[in-house]
Amino acid sequence: MRRGPLCERGTCGPAGRRYPAGSPSARPTGSSPAHHEVRSERVPQRVPSDPSQPCPLARAPQGPLASAPAKHPARVVAEDELSAKVPLPLERSERLLVERDLPRLAALRRANHPTSDRASNEQPPPDEIDVLPAEREQLALPQAGEIDRAVDALRGTRYSRGGSELARLLHDESGMTLVIDDQKPDVVRIVVANLPVDNRDFETAARRTPRITMRRLRALDDVLREARRATKEAQRRGIPTLLLLPELAIPRRLERSLVNHATKEEISLVAGLEYRHAIGGVKNEAIGIFPLGFQKAIPVTWTKRNPARTEQSALAKLGAGFAAPSATQRLVVRSSHGRIGVLICSEILESAALASLTGRIEVLLVPAWNPDTGTFEHVTHAAASMLVHCFVAVANNAEASDSRIVSPVAAPRHLREWARIIHRGQSRVIWGDLPVGTLRAVHEGTAPAGPANQKQKAMTYRPLPPGWRQ
């Protein structure tokens, strides 16, 4: 409430009314009257204790005091002087917000608020409240499986989220094995794709500007159609089939479409993907898709660990490098196609990679982009016959072609080259039905390397290499 200047024979009230000099309201300007002392005629109630704050119910001075300036201008309080606890008359408690509207204010609490001198066990006065209540305890995190059970309860379902019962990962001293199916087939059909991929597709993928041309899509469509026919024909005979595509053959933008197609048509495949840019350089990967039926499939990824010499120099010219190799063990997949391993192109030249797969697989799949077909011819036969002792399938880029399947057969000699195609620049497929059951028996020591079976008495396998790991 604003106080006017002193007048003769008393004090002028807020409305120009004069009070006697001896009355309680006629006090010196510097003294503060008690709250009950200001209750009198025409004096508004609920007068604020701070004289610098005008009461909202007080009327403006009238008469000669209307033009008199106020002697006590409002004092501006700095923000850092505000306290977290504010004395508030209880008669205004009905205007406070409920506690649920105040937690958001806790974020506004300043770290430099003046601390209170009150003891921790002392109760605050009845007319003082804490407008910034203490932070509540955090809610406990849900335990494992609680969210899944809640979702099942809302949907009325009961799904198993512990992973597929048909897939489990095994670790041993020889390496990692992903078990998708414990079946041990006698015959497996491997379909090898002779698919052309232009060198410009390699360059654009390395430069982060991949392209998809109509020629490339048509070639991929032709290969998938032929592979589908070969797969359906083998399924009618009860033979599991797997399609092998070359290195860097599938654009990254088509990866999901390829997975959906393979899952829908129930075509198992291993295909090379375009470069994936990661920290430290690019990664050269191959994806494996193994359908389980009912629109489900298990994807598997293999990563090339070291680039070929020509690949490394080509990437350097394009301003790209090869990402650091992984230290994980070589992965073997055990499925309805037998035990298979994957080496990407020049990895078949690495002795350590071949040694890590010795005694663990029946079929080695090699997606490749290799113009030196003569060298690969000798290496694939050496790997099949002496190093890994397994069937080796190589799907090379059709720009160089010479895709093939070789076997560890001793006699007849023509069966060592089980299947082969040289058709440069054209999309074609070849396949071979491989007797992995008889080879497995040789590896396990239950059958000699001599006659394979009654129908193929003349076919014999090469002897197991020295230091064979069973």
Handedness of CA 29, 35, 36, 42 (dihedral sign): positive
What pLDDT does 328 receive?
79
What pLDDT does 343 receive?
96
Within a domain: 347 = yes
- Distance CA(112)–CA(161), nearest Å, equals 50
What pLDDT does 48 receive?
53
- Distance CA(454)–CA(299), nearest Å, equals 37
Residue 64 exposure: Cα atoms within 13 Å on the Cβ side: 7
What is the greatest pairwise CA distance in the chain? 140
Give pTM, 2 decimals: 0.66
Task: Specify the number of domains making up the chain.
Answer: 2
248-285 core/surface letters (b: 16 or more CB in 10 A; e: else): bbbbeebbeebbeebbeebbbbbbbbbbeeeeebbbbb
Tell me the one-letter amino acid at 268.
S
pLDDT per position in the chain (470 positions), as tens? 444 444 444 444 444 444 444 444 444 444 455 545 544 445 455 555 555 555 544 455 555 545 555 555 545 445 555 554 555 444 444 444 444 444 444 444 444 444 444 554 555 555 554 444 445 555 555 565 677 778 778 877 766 555 445 688 888 877 899 999 888 999 999 999 999 999 999 999 999 999 999 999 999 999 999 999 999 999 999 999 999 999 999 999 999 999 999 999 999 999 999 999 998 899 999 999 999 888 889 999 999 999 999 999 999 999 998 998 877 789 999 999 999 999 999 999 998 999 899 999 999 999 999 998 888 888 999 999 888 999 999 999 999 999 999 999 998 999 999 999 999 999 999 999 999 999 999 998 887 776 545 545 568 999 998 877 65
Within a domain: 313 = yes
* Residues 56 and 176 both lie in one domain: no
Long-range (24+ apart) CB contacts under 8 A made by 464-467 are 464/389, 465/358, 465/386, 465/387, 465/389
Within a domain: 219 = yes
The SS3 assignment for 301 reads: strand
What pLDDT does 10 receive?
45
- CB contact set of 340 (below 8 Å; sequence gap of 6+): 242, 270, 332, 333, 334, 361, 362, 363, 364, 365
- Token pair listed for 246: 């070359």
* Residues 370 and 257 both lie in one domain: yes
Element spanning 224, H or E: helix 214-236
Residue 202's domain is classified under what CATH number? Answer: 3.60.110.10
- Distance CA(362)–CA(381), nearest Å, equals 14
- Distance CA(371)–CA(397), nearest Å, equals 8
- Distance CA(224)–CA(191), nearest Å, equals 10
Within a domain: 109 = no
Domain of 24 in residue numbering reads as 1-63
What pLDDT does 205 receive?
93
Within a domain: 158 = no
Handedness of CA 375, 381, 384, 388 (dihedral sign): negative
| 298, β-bridge pairs | 290
What pLDDT does 446 receive?
84
- Token pair listed for 79: 């923000």
Residue that terminates a domain, selected from 63, 90, 117: 63
- The alpha-carbon radius of gyration of the chain (Å, integer) is 43
What pLDDT does 334 receive?
94
Residue that terminates a domain, selected from 48, 63, 78: 63
Within a domain: 143 = no
- Distance CA(221)–CA(244), nearest Å, equals 14
Within a domain: 295 = yes
Helix axis angle for 309-317 and 199-206, nearest 10°, is: 60
- Phi/psi-derived region of residue 389, left when phi > 0, alpha when psi is between -120 and 50, beta in every other case: left
* Residues 59 and 172 both lie in one domain: no
What pLDDT does 364 receive?
97
Backbone angles phi, psi at 193, to 5 degrees: -95, 130
Residue that terminates a domain, selected from 63, 91, 109: 63
Q: Do 365 and 338 contact (CB within 8 A), yes or no?
A: no
Within a domain: 151 = no
* Residues 257 and 396 both lie in one domain: yes
Asked if omega into 412 is within 30° of 0 (cis), the reply is yes
- What is the separation of C-alpha 66 from the centre of its chain, rounded to a whole number of angstroms? 73
